[in-house]
Structure 1
């Protein structure tokens, strides 16, 4: 065996370098054991004996490790992990060292309790699949759920999560974009296929959508794992349940009696309201009829008089700027709630289809890094969208202003970049709809009162459900799964504080992307950083972001990271693939623009990078 051989996995090419044991201490021919780094995000060390799983490390929080470890594997299978103490490499630990270290010894939904002897038990709410074999000490069949999950209607009432402390998280995890523990809990609760979740410092939110395998519980340390159970698995004794049932029944009787009278009065008012709506103009009815009820449940329809009052009759003093629909206005409702109103101009290329699309899309998408829609207004030829108001307007008002750019130093810019990536991951992967934004730029990144970024303007977005990923349209779109070059351009603009359409460097008139490539080749890209904020930066972070930006503007979609890989790149210190020289659109002083890009419409590929 070669000591300290290298383990690697290239996320871009799929190539991996593994470590194989010797057949024996004296026979260097390939043995039975092999250790590798898995392609999961985050990755983990995995040992196999032939094709069978033998041991795994659990998800590796790379941000917790200053230097990567070195790995050795013996002919008998144990893996030795070495760490550098500043002077030399020393043995950190050797595995497997305990019966629980062997992969899946307690089977699916079984918990191996770390002790001197092998002890398996089922998770709360589970029972042995075979009681006879379990009593004989044969645990590999694992456990099964005692009460099947119900996941219809109000999942909050039907399901609960039971916490298990000090665990090695199960295998087959998936990384999600949730940035806080409560968001992680919510994302799992709202997904019927999610069986467990764990929010781990240095990693983030992991979820499990299949059986929980190879779970170990330590006496201390480890992670908190929350497993999904039917609500009936947790509760008091039967007498308490009976008392509660009686109290609830009596309460419901009183409530229903009161509600009946209230419903009668409400029905009278409701009928009057329906009559008023029916009397609206036919054009307004046509617009509303175009909205399927199930697509816009919970969406508020505002009256035009309400919006006119809120915006002071769309006065110029309330105008915030031009958006994808036309003009955008600031407004204030009677309850003093501030709103932003998009008013579709009659000359806009966006017609009924786009307007309907944005209403349906945004009403279904809920994420802290997406602008929230409050409702719409449809009257005659007027079509308006009402959004939550963003106090600090859009990112470009800071980024390209010589004075205000100082308010967003490097730590804030990095935070904004990461938050945008989380929003995109939600759009591309974590939402029920699969959405490509198709118009991502700094003016479409809005900032709230705490300077938190929110992606806006989904007027050009398309919905993709299931495997419906093809779009035979003449419009240029992004590529679902891979990052659109727009994000790479956005990233380079945030780093440099320069607008791509205005940037020209040197006598050759280099574009922003060409200059970024030149800077990265020369010194890792540190020269690209906005000079006005250079004192606040960590050079390694800047160089990493420049490299990621160049990866996102690669000519071939397969050379770009997908959204999950992108977020991992931005939030960890994992190794990055080297970008190829991008395809540029070069503007010289004496020549027409020369396009070296490629637009492949039916393959949903956008490789042409133009100034906005």
Structure 2
């Protein structure tokens, strides 16, 4: 029904559509230019809740209104009397019916030559004005972007024509007027993409050649170009599959997003965005410092080698905006025995004002010598551009907006004074000699002690089971979770805003679950054990022992735990789409869950169960599989959670029995409820119930009018 409605709307649009606009035609409200592949339309529209009329380009096949270009963004029409036509000079002009001009391409004013032009909307979404006699392109919308960068569209500068192609945000979702943010290619030093708020940098990429921090930035089937020559400096991306609708948008808050249309759920899905974390903000730690987003429990700002905080008091208060200054201001760093220290895995400093290429084909030694010869040179890096050999990029002055990555990035060679250089030399050389002396002195003591300790450990391991205590909570077999991170209580309190009720996600017999955000921007879910819950203490021990060992894409990931003072908490990855039951039993949300996605969710749950029963090193029976214990990530991938009631089986064990039946009625198998017997079949029974609920959208505990005593299983299979 929904698809039929869309087809009808498209048909009505085509009834008043044009292929081209010529001098003897015009476009009024309700008329459109349509691209040949029917992907884009050009005409009048009203954004969001606005009553104003604008002239723009939008997607035709997307069910949400998605505008990619606006002509009169700062001069809206207040009624439906607007007319677009081609005037006698070959210009596209927008005016009121009384001929008052609102917008024009303004390409032939200097000539005032009477000519004939044709306007066409290309399949790429580019509106092109062509001179009719020689097919010369007079003007195109791709040269004048608004807030959207489409595939094949350039972001940058044409040095021959002087055209600067950059994005500017809308004021709001209802107002396409020029907003506060812009995304531009800054050509100075080594070119960078920078988001500005007004004229102030807000976020930027590394200097070119750009290094992507994550694999998600450029997905399979997508290519990109960066051209930097005497004629042009620009960035563009291309998508191989024309059926994929992708766009890059700068929104009214300064956020850049790469979005892909998901026709299954009728939504734009975010593929990448920035700025995302605190360290992404331009100059978060000031000058001569680096910002590390992976610092969870400590201040994210660190001074570069040879520098110290400019304002120690502000630094202690975790405010790094003032940055760092040289440690030994009285000591010259020019011709006084200075040298260089390498800092690894960085987003390189801003090259807008102080960086320059010192030479092509230069290695580290040549670049270092060139930097030493210039007293203003503060740092340099070696880059390989397009596989054509190494080149030297040097900074002369302030080093600003440096970000430290965990496993990627570039090396920055920082200039330090003689005192600081001596410290680093002693660290690298002295540590090795100290280690040798220490080894010689202690080897006769350490080796015998080690052998005695090893024999004692083997003997004790045979005598009893090893236990470890986390501040009063005993957990068997400490080897099961040697790398499980322990979070500080103050970190969790800050992340959850002191367990604010607004961050509460849910509650169970164990206690409450809260949403939180760590200092590096990562979202987490915190399961807080109730102080009065005996059930919760048992579940806590069970989850730490079991789930810490499990690694599977369809199992929720345990990030760590916190046991401090009288608090006991488990920290998980945050699932933005919450639990499966919150979608399939909600009529509004369930309407966005098509059959393909439901089938994928069913397969994902099945893979998770198969891993628990057969493919993991441990054979685990979950015992509490239900729709509320299946969480959904941002891409609607299912992840099984809550292992508090899970039981570990031996490899050859097929079933077990308990006198304490726990779980959720409606999901428990009959033999478990009646006799306390459970096995892998118990989880399969629960999975069957979830499958019925996903397909029907009804809860197993619902009753039915014709047979009130029946649940969903009885209703499906016809028994009471």
Q: Does TM, normalized by the shorter one, top 0.5?
A: no
TM-score, structure 1 normalization = 0.38
TM-score, structure 2 normalization = 0.33
Higher relative contact order (CA 8 A, sep 6+): 1
